[in-house]
Structure 1
Amino acid sequence: MDKKKPIVIGVTGGSGSGKTTVAHAIYDELHGEAIQIITQDTYYNDQADMTMEERKKVNYDHPLAFDTDLLIKQLADLRHGKAIEMSVYDYKQYTRSKKTVHVEPQDIIILEGILILDDERLRNLMDIKVFVDTDSDIRIIRRIKRDMEERGRSLDSVINQYLATVKPMYHQFVEPTKRYADIIVPEGGQNHVAIDLLATKVKDVLNARGHHLS
């Protein structure tokens, strides 16, 4: 791989804000380039030593739920042209699986997650920081649909978790990181103008760094 410095784009916002959709929309706009999406959820703490009941009680919307040190180390490795073995998180077991995924360095790295702007060390590894700002009613509806359809959760468990941790943690930890964003994108992946502008900016930066775009 070309050792020219890659560009790291951070995409954050509340649960259900559409940040994953935005990350994939940017990915699609830059299709054909050397690009990788990394999700912060992959870096939830390994909880294999806990019982299932203990795992279910963990506050997954708190900064301490993540192994941020490992994320920072692996993102730094990718920026320096080193491959990583990235963990895989099992949502149904509430812990890391035994699998890992081999990830090669790329020209463009998109990091997405609810708390990626919370740690200054992590922010310092990003070139462009994006906050996806979506109405809370839309976010909870999206979360209910996703967790029931994709993660095998019951309606009651999703609502209880939202009221107990997701909503208060959003106001305490996620929303305050908006001030670190370079770009605030309303309405998530439906904002095609914002996606186009971001893709254009990324191409400009890569060209300036001497990358050969397809």
Structure 2
Amino acid sequence: MGQKPLVIGVTGGSGSGKTTVSRELVARIADYLPVFLQQDAYYRDQSDKPFAERIKTNYDHPDSFETDLFVADLQRLLRHQSINKPVYDYEQHTRSSEVITVAPSDVIIVDGVLLFNDSRVRDLLDLKVYVDTDDDIRFLRRLERDIEERGRTVHGVIEQYLQTVKPMYHQFVEPTKRYANIIVPEGGKNKVAIDMIANQILAMLKKFD
């Protein structure tokens, strides 16, 4: 294997199926023991703010991420060094006190809603995948996920979607589609596209063997 790990970036709007695509890719190249790193872990720590202020956080704006740390951790993995990945507590709207140690690998798959937004991140990606899914489907998936997994109310999810998620998607996420090498319609249900991407990754890895 070559000196530099292969880095695959997967992005798309909230609820597009990008994490499903990423996990499918991880499963298909499991023999290479890939690292799976999610941009969501790098939401800024807000423990210095009162809870009433934290719940107003616009999670779909680039400023909500600690991108400097995300880039630094990616660069450490590229140097074959371990990182301490943050853990975000969605119910408390701030970073948890725990971290997860992530060992380096020859393949790194990263996903995130604003993954292609910062040129420093884009420059580290060898293959850029954009998952393109209809707005209504993305909203319904987000509604289900946030209620089941993140302790939100229906009213809260709808309000957040209309006030920040949808406008931020059109302002910051959708325009980054132009940076993609591959665009996947219909997210995790598109098995043909996932197979094609997995085969492309395997071909890229074999060049390093």
User: TM-score surpassing 0.5?
Assistant: yes
> Structure 2: any 5+ residue segments left out of the alignment?
none
Whether the 8 Å CA contact 1:6–1:106 is kept in 2: the answer is: yes
Instruction: Give the distance between the partners of 1:118 and 1:46, measured in 2 at CA.
Output: 20
Whether the 8 Å CA contact 2:44–2:95 is kept in 1: the answer is: yes
**Which residue in 2 is equivalent to 1:13?**
12
**Which residue in 2 is equivalent to 1:119?**
118
Q: For this pair of structures, how many residues does the alignment match? A: 209
Whether the 8 Å CA contact 1:117–1:177 is kept in 2: the answer is: yes
**Which residue in 2 is equivalent to 1:46?**
45
Q: CA deviation at 1:3?
A: 6.6
Whether the 8 Å CA contact 2:2–2:208 is kept in 1: the answer is: no
**Which residue in 2 is equivalent to 1:75?**
74
Deviation readout 1:66-108 (Å, 9 max, x if unpaired) = 0000000000110111111111011111111000001111111
| 1:3-152 superposed matches below 5 A | 4-152=3-151
Residue range with higher mean Cα deviation, 188-197 or 170-179: 188-197
Instruction: Give the distance between the partners of 1:84 and 1:27, measured in 2 at CA.
Output: 19
Asked whether 1:177 is paired with 2:176, we answer: yes
Instruction: Give the distance between the partners of 2:35 and 2:52, measured in 1 at CA.
Output: 34
Instruction: Give the distance between the partners of 2:154 and 2:57, measured in 1 at CA.
Output: 18
Q: CA deviation at 1:4?
A: 2.7
Q: CA deviation at 1:32?
A: 2.3
Q: CA deviation at 1:209?
A: 1.2
Q: Which amino acid in structure 1 is aligned with residue 175 of structure 2?
A: P
RMSD across aligned positions (CA): 0.9
Q: Secondary structure at the match of 2:99?
A: strand
Q: Secondary structure at the match of 2:130?
A: strand
**Which residue in 1 is equivalent to 2:188?**
189
Deviation readout 1:80-138 (Å, 9 max, x if unpaired) = 11111111011111111000001111111111010010000100000000000000000
Instruction: Give the distance between the partners of 1:32 and 1:151, measured in 2 at CA.
Output: 32
Q: CA deviation at 1:173?
A: 0.2
Asked whether 1:203 is paired with 2:209, we answer: no
Whether the 8 Å CA contact 2:15–2:138 is kept in 1: the answer is: yes
Instruction: Give the distance between the partners of 1:3 and 1:132, measured in 2 at CA.
Output: 28
Instruction: Give the distance between the partners of 1:77 and 1:61, measured in 2 at CA.
Output: 26
Q: Which contiguous aligned blocks of 4+ residues in structure 1 show a shift greater than 4 angstroms? A: none
Q: Which amino acid in structure 2 is aligned with residue 145 of structure 1?
A: E
Q: Secondary structure at the match of 1:32?
A: helix
Instruction: Give the distance between the partners of 2:162 and 2:189, measured in 1 at CA.
Output: 27
> Structure 1: any 5+ residue segments left out of the alignment?
none
